[in-house]
A and B are shown apart, each in its own frame.
Chain A
């Protein structure tokens, strides 16, 4: 084998030799070409042989692993091939090659074998396609991760997951961040690779099992949700006005293709949809609560990794009616405005909610929210009776005018007089 030194244009050459340990004849490879080997030196094992980088140590280890002794690599040519490849890796200052005889012309007799070792190293170094990736999923979902490099089956994991063929399946993932690790262990030789070094003699390397190869991927399970809260538009609270109810309102969630995704029904002023997929949606009210007008707004929603929770406070306007009470009194032919007449307004639970008084025009204007109300007159002008309590129902927004007229109508004497016959009988009875 020759070495052509780039810097000095010098060619070094030597006959290939096999190094064996004296006590067990285990083969070793030279790491420092054309450096003197003193077989009398005491070698010490090391994991950090001098003059080699980590990358060089790694590649040399793999060349030694897949060289002589690996499977069918059992002839001495594999020693020479392995040694050449180790030198090429350990010393990049020159070009190493086989020659036809000592310092003979360059030949390339073992290209396929070299390529085979390189392929074995490349294959060994191959990591699952998902290595170092992070997958973001919605809580509760399943995740299937496929290794397109098709080598996951040579790895093992202590994590709770299932590996089938080249796929990893995670079921019903809870919210959180997870790191799944995989390890490929090499036990081909059942002994470690050991480097040896000694002062005044060149370093050597034995062959053995490779270091573990690790792979991993991360899973970020996110809890997404859309929370709806219902309030009254006027009082900005969850307390409905009048006899209306905010509960029972129905909202429908659609995706951007107008497909219905979910139907919300407000209960206790609230509803929530958990773990909806990432995406863009819109929300429309389908049915308002009883006594409320429809919320016609279109709510755009974008569920994303950085925006997993949407909280919407939705308002409804209660149905309310302006009621004008016009109070008059008189004999129907001549009616007058009745001023300072008070009315109590009761709700359907007979709770007094307001007292109103007619102005100088006999008018009262009041706006009442959805519900049924009983209106009771409290006082009246002297000589006039009170209006019988009456009911007002607010179920739409149409203004309602109520005319209340107390009529005081003169009536003739409507008592028919007693017959003379009966008068006489009475008189007789008195006289007797």
Chain B
């Protein structure tokens, strides 16, 4: 019984600590000293999904900032404009940019600003695959934008949202 009370006391004290330092999921805030910043580097583009209130910069595919623990990330297998594959965290925290990606539906639109040009895509298919470190995508004849993150609803699955560029763009 005493042991349990002791543990409760420790937990209470821990709860008094500032909330910001308790979180370890956002690497930028937990370990600011390790953040790699390339001075003067500007984003290469911006991903805007109004439906989930997302507006996030994209960095060059070879940029150190182009990593999933900091930003929405352009995967190396992308070849814009043919196919652009973007990955980001879901779940909780500031870097979980795609935490509401599952709210998207077919025909929802996504705005991409890339190298100062604006493109509009719309969702054509949504599916989930069992996580194995890869996603399978059918390359279509249209210019594609693929968004992927872990499934927020189904452990061990990867959510994939396939979009194609609107012809009028």
Contacts and interface: CB of A to CB of B under 8 A. Distances in A.
Q: Which of A407, A408, A421 has its CB near the most chain B CB atoms (within 10 A)?
A: A407
Nearest to B133: A410
Contacts of A411: 75, 87, 133-135, 148, 158
Q: How large is the interface on A (under 10, 10 to 19, 20 to 34, 35 or more residues)?
A: 20 to 34
23 contacts: A332-B77, A332-B79, A332-B139, A333-B77, A333-B79, A388-B125, A405-B138, A408-B136, A408-B137, A409-B85, A410-B75, A410-B77, A410-B134, A411-B75, A414-B150, A416-B91, A416-B93, A416-B96, A417-B25, A418-B92, A419-B93, A420-B23, A420-B24
Interface of B: 4, 7-8, 11, 14-15, 19, 22-25, 67-68, 73, 75-79, 83, 85, 87-93, 95-96, 98-99, 125, 129, 133-139, 141, 148-150, 158
Interface in A329-355: 331-333
A406 B134 CA distance: 12
A415 B91 contact: yes
A156 B79 CA distance: 101
Contacts of A385: 129, 136, 138
Nearest to A431: B7
Contact of B19 (A388, A407, A415, A421): A421
Nearest to B95: A416
Nearest to B79: A332
Given A332-B83, A420-B22, A406 B149 contact: no
Chain B binding surface SS class = mixed
Nearest to B162: A388
A415 B91 CA distance: 6
A403 B142 CA distance: 11
Contacts of A331: 77
A417 B83 contact: no
A403 B90 contact: no
Contacts of A405: 138-139
Given A409-B75, A410-B133, A416-B92, A428 B11 contact: yes
Nearest first, the 8 closest Cβ-Cβ pairs linking A and B are A405-B139, A416-B91, A385-B136, A416-B89, A332-B77, A415-B150, A407-B137, A416-B96
Contacts of A107: none
B25 A418 contact: yes
B136 A384 contact: yes
A403 to B, nearest CB: 7
A404 interface: yes
